A and B are shown apart, each in its own frame.
Chain A
Amino acid sequence: MSRIGVFICYCGSNIAGTVDVEAVAEMARTLPDVVHVETNKYTCSDPGQEGVRNAIISHEIDRVVVAACSPRMHEPTWRKLLADTPVNPYMLEVANIREQCSWVHKDREVATAKAMDLVKMAVAKVARLQPLHSTEIPVHKKALVIGGGIAGMQTALDIADAGFKVTIVERETSLGGKMVMLDKTFPTMDCSACICTPKMSEVGNHPNITVKSYSEVENVSGYIGNFEVTIREKAKYIDYNLCTGCGACETKCPQKVVNDFEQGMSERTAIYKMFPQAVPAKPVIDAAHCRKLAQGKCGVCAKVCPTGAINYEDEDKLTTETYGAVVFATGYKLIDWKPLYPEYGGGAYPDVITGLQFERLVNASGPTEGHILRPSDNSEPKDVVIIKCVGSRDPNKGKAYCSRACCMYSAKHAHQYLDKVPDGRCYVFYMDVRTPGKGYDEFYMNTLHDGAQYIRGRVSKIYQEGGKLICKGEDTLTSQQVTVEADMVVLETAMVPADGIDELAAKFTVGRDADSWLVEAHAKLRPVETNTAGIYLAGTCQGPKDIPDSVCQAGAAASKVIGLLNKDVLQSNPQISHVNEAICQGDGACVGICPYGAIQIVQKTFRENSRKVTRPVAQVNPGLCQGCGACTVTCRAGAMDLLGYTNESIMREVDALCQW
C-alpha cells in the first residue's frame, strides 16, 4: 500500500490567481492512497521545502506529487530534496499546473477543473512508479578533437591548458585549416597567417596535445566518458622521428602536382609540405603522384635525405584509444559553384575566381607573391567585379541559408584590391549587406569610402568578349540593366560542410540538418552540445561562421569538455529504456529507430519451458540511452519500457483522465 503526499503550490498569484488551489487540495484528499495534502504559497522556497520534508517524515510518505510549475523548472529541486529523505528521488511526479494550466487559461472554473485532472493523473502515475538508482560511469580524462583548423586548435589549447590530454585528428598534412589560407582578417586587417601560425606551433609544442596529422577517424564505439576511437594515420612514407624538416627532398623532387593549398594556381612537388609554416613541419609523399610509389622508378628524395627518413614501404597505421569527450571541429568547404552556375561560365573562364583564390592571389606568400594578377595572362586587372551570395540565399541553385561571413570578406576583398591597385575600379553586386559585429559596419563604410561601387542586384550572365568578362546584371535600386566590362570576377561562394561529414557524424550518431550541418542539442540554450552526450561542436561544422565566432564557440566547447573531464565519475540517468526480455522478440525494430545508437541485438540463453533456448533480444547501453522513449513506442510487443515513464504508469494516467 503506497502512501502518497500531494503538495500544491499557489506560486503567489501565478497559480492561485486562476486556479482554486484549495478546491484542488480538497479533491486530492479523496484520491486513493493519498495520505497527506498540503498547500503552500511558495513550495519551492526554503520554508516551503522544509514543510515538504517534515510532512514526508511525519506522515511516512513514500511517494510525492508536487503540483506546481513545469518539471523543466523545479523537478531537479524536488529530486534533490527527496535525496535527503527516505523517499527515492524518482518516486516523484510533478503536475504542471502553472505553464500548462494557470498561465494559459483565463476561466477560473475551467482552469481549476484542469488542475484537478492533472493532479489526478499525477497521483495515478506516482502510485505505479518504482524506485530508480543511478549508477556511476567512469570518465577517461582525455579529449579527442576532430579537425585542426582554428576552432579545433583553440578547443584543444583550452582543454590542454586546463591540464587534460588532447588528441587532434587532422586529415590534411598540416594544422591550420581554412584560416591559414586567408590573407588578412576583417575588420582589423591583421595578417591571418601571423595570428594563426603561432597557434599552430603552440598546439604542436604543447605537452598535453598530440597532433595526428594526415589521419582520420576510422571507427567509434562507446559512450560519454568512454568513447573508444580507432584512428587511421595514413602512410606518410617518412619517418617523422628521423626527419628534420630540412626540405632538401622538396627541392629535388622531379614530379609536379597541382597545388590545392594555392587553390590550383601553382604547382608543388610530390613530396611536400602544405605550406612553409606547416605543423608538423615535415613533408609527406603524395602516393598518387610519387614516381617511385606509382611507377617504381625515381627515389631521388631517398638519395638526398641526409637522415634516411624516407620509407617507401610505409603503411597506414591504426591506433585505438579511449576518450572521455569528443569535439567536432570539422569545418567547411566552399560550394562547388561550377556545375551550379553555368551562366558564370561554369569554370570555363580562368579569370572568374572564388574568394579563396583571391585570398591566395593577394597573399605575399601566394603564387603571385601578393600581386593581384589575372590567372589567364598575369596582367593587373583594372576592373574587378565581386559577386556575393553565389550559392548562398539561393534555394533554387545552391543553399537557402546565408553564409554569414561573405558580406564582410567581400568588403575586405574590395578594400584590398583598391589598396593594391589604386587606379582600379571595383564593383560589388549584392543582395543585402549584413554587417552585424563589432567594428563590422565601420569596416564596410570604409570600403565604400575607398571607392568600391556597391550595386544591389545579382549578375545574370558572364561571358567573354575580347579579353574582357562582360557581366550583365540589374541595379534593382534604379531598375536599370547594368553591364560591367570586367578584367576579373570574384565569386563569394557559399560555405558547405566539409567532405565526409555525413559518414563521420553517422559513426558518432551526431545529428545533421538537411544541409548536413551538425545539429546542436538546443539552438539557444545548448549551442555547443549535441544530442549525443559527451560530443560537442566547435566552429563551422555547426553552421557558417566567421573566425571570432568560431573561436568563441571553440572556447565554449572546451569549457564543456573541461567540466566533463573534471569529474571522476558521472551519475547516469536512471530514466532510460529497459528491455523485458521475456517478451522481447529481438526483431530489432528499436535498433533502427534509436537516434543515439544505444540499442543492439544480442543472443542470450534463457530457460524456457524446462529447455535452454538461445534467442536474440535487445540490449540497451545505459551510457548511450538518453531516455527519449522512441523505442518504447516502436516496440509492438511493448517489451521496451522507459523507466520512470513506464507504459503501465502512462496507461493509468490516461485512465485517471478518462474517469468522470
Chain B
Amino acid sequence: MTAQDTIRARARELLENGEVTTFIGWESGRFENQTTPLVITDASDADKLVCNEYCVNTLAKYARDVVTRGKVGMVVRGCDSRGIVRLINDQVINREDVYLIGVGCAGVRDRKTGELLKKCAECRHGDPVICDEMAGDAAGRPQPSERFKEVHEVELMTQPERSRYFEGVYAKCIRCYACRDVCPCCTCRECFVDQRRENWVGKQNNVAENRFYSLTRVMHIADRCIECGECERACPMGLPLMKLNRKVIKDLNDLFGEFESSMTLDEEPGKLITYDLVDCEEFM
C-alpha cells in the first residue's frame, strides 16, 4: 500500500468515526503534477486526496483557519509539522486540535521542469518532527551541507552593492502580502501593516515603505522562522525573501548559540523575547 492509499483510508476512517471534523491534504488538478490543498469534511471525498512529489503547498497555516470547526486531521511532512509546532507554541491552536498523519518527504518537484524546488533543496528536515501516526516510511533524506550558503553570498558584497541589491528587490515588491499570508509564523490577529491608527507603515508602494514592511516582517519572525521557504515560493514577483530571513537566523545563531526553531513542542522561548540580566548590551 502506498502512502497515498494509507492517507485516503485513514482520512475516510477518521471522518467516518467522527474523530476529526475536517481533513486537510492535497488534490490533483487536471494533471497529476498540478496539486492544490484540499479541505474535506465528507468521508466520501477521501479518494480525492493525493500525496505525490508535486504537493508544493505547506499545509500548516490551513489548520488555523479550519480549527474553529472542530478537530482537524491532516497530512504532515517536515515543513508542515514544524508549521504545526509553530502554531501550537504560539498558542494559535492546541495539540489536541489536530490529528497528524506523517509522511516522509524526499522533496517536491517543479511541475514544469521536474527539478527539485529551491525550498526543498535547502530543506533540513524532510520527515515530520511530530505526528500521531506515519503513513509509509520516513524518507531519511540527508541534510544539505550548508545552511547559510545564500547568506554568505550577500555578506560578501560591499555595503553599497548590498544596498543596491536590496533596493532592486524592494523596487519589485507589489506588497500583495502573499509572503505574510502563507507564513505559519504570521498569525497575528491584526497584522501591523493593517493597523491604521498607529500607521506603522505607509500604504504607498515605494522602495522605502516596502523595505520597512519587509524588515519588520523579518524581525517579527526572526527567532521563529521554520525555514520552510513558502514565502519565497508564494511570491509572485520571485523575490529572494529567504536570504534576509536566513541572515537574521544566522546572526541569532552567532549571538545566542545554535538553534533551529519549532523542532519540539517544549522548545525554549525565543531569544528575542526573553529577559536576562546578563544579556549583552554593548550598545549601552
Residues of B within 8 A of A (CB): 68, 89-92, 187-192, 195, 197-200, 220, 269-270, 272-275, 277-278
Closest to A647 in B: B198
CA distance A592 to B91 in the complex (A): 15
Contact between A585 and B90, CB atoms less than 8 A apart: yes
Give the residue among A590, A595, A636, A648 with the most B Cβ atoms within 10 A.
A636
Contact between A638 and B91, CB atoms less than 8 A apart: no
Q: List 28 A-B contacts (CB under 8 A).
A: A513-B277, A514-B278, A582-B189, A583-B188, A583-B189, A585-B90, A585-B187, A585-B188, A585-B189, A587-B91, A587-B92, A589-B270, A589-B273, A590-B273, A592-B269, A592-B273, A592-B274, A613-B68, A634-B272, A634-B273, A636-B188, A636-B192, A637-B190, A637-B192, A638-B190, A639-B189, A647-B198, A647-B200
Contact between B273 and A519, CB atoms less than 8 A apart: no
Interface string of A628-650 (1 = CB under 8 A from B): 00100010111100000001100
Contact between A637 and B91, CB atoms less than 8 A apart: no
Partner of B189, one of A512, A519, A588, A637: A637
Chain A interface bracket (under 10, 10 to 19, 20 to 34, 35 or more): 20 to 34
Extra A-B contacts (16), CB below 8 Å, given A512-B277, A587-B187, A637-B188: A585-B92, A585-B188, A587-B91, A587-B92, A589-B269, A589-B270, A592-B274, A593-B274, A601-B91, A613-B68, A637-B190, A637-B191, A647-B200, A648-B198, A651-B198, A651-B200
Return B196 CB to nearest CB of chain A, in Å. 10
Return B173 CB to nearest CB of chain A, in Å. 20
Is A163 an interface residue, CB under 8 A from the partner?
no
CA distance A512 to B279 in the complex (A): 12
Q: What chain B residues lie within 8 Å of A636 (beta carbons)?
A: 188, 192, 220
Q: What chain A residues lie within 8 Å of B275 (beta carbons)?
A: 592-595, 630
Contact between B200 and A638, CB atoms less than 8 A apart: yes
Cβ < 8 Å to B, chain A residues 576-592:
582-590, 592
Q: What chain A residues lie within 8 Å of B192 (beta carbons)?
A: 636-638
Residues of A within 8 A of B (CB): 511-514, 519, 582-590, 592-595, 601, 613, 616, 630, 634, 636-639, 647-648, 651
Return B35 CB to nearest CB of chain A, in Å. 31
Closest to B190 in A: A583
CA distance A651 to B212 in the complex (A): 14
**Known interface pairs A593-B275, A594-B275, A637-B188. Does A585 touch B91 (Cβ–Cβ under 8 Å)?**
yes
Closest to B223 in A: A589
Q: What chain B residues lie within 8 Å of A630 (beta carbons)?
A: 275
Closest to A630 in B: B275
Closest to A597 in B: B275
Q: What chain A residues lie within 8 Å of B68 (beta carbons)?
A: 613
Return B180 CB to nearest CB of chain A, in Å. 12
CA distance A589 to B91 in the complex (A): 11
Closest to B188 in A: A637
Return B214 CB to nearest CB of chain A, in Å. 15
Q: What chain A residues lie within 8 Å of B91 (beta carbons)?
A: 585-588, 601, 616
Nearest 8 CB-CB pairs, A to B? A637-B188, A589-B273, A587-B90, A592-B274, A583-B190, A636-B220, A583-B189, A592-B269
Q: What chain B residues lie within 8 Å of A647 (beta carbons)?
A: 198, 200
Closest to B269 in A: A592
Q: What chain B residues lie within 8 Å of A589 (beta carbons)?
A: 269-270, 273
Q: What chain B residues lie within 8 Å of A593 (beta carbons)?
A: 273-275
Q: What chain B residues lie within 8 Å of A584 (beta carbons)?
A: 189
Q: What chain A residues lie within 8 Å of B220 (beta carbons)?
A: 636
CA distance A582 to B275 in the complex (A): 26
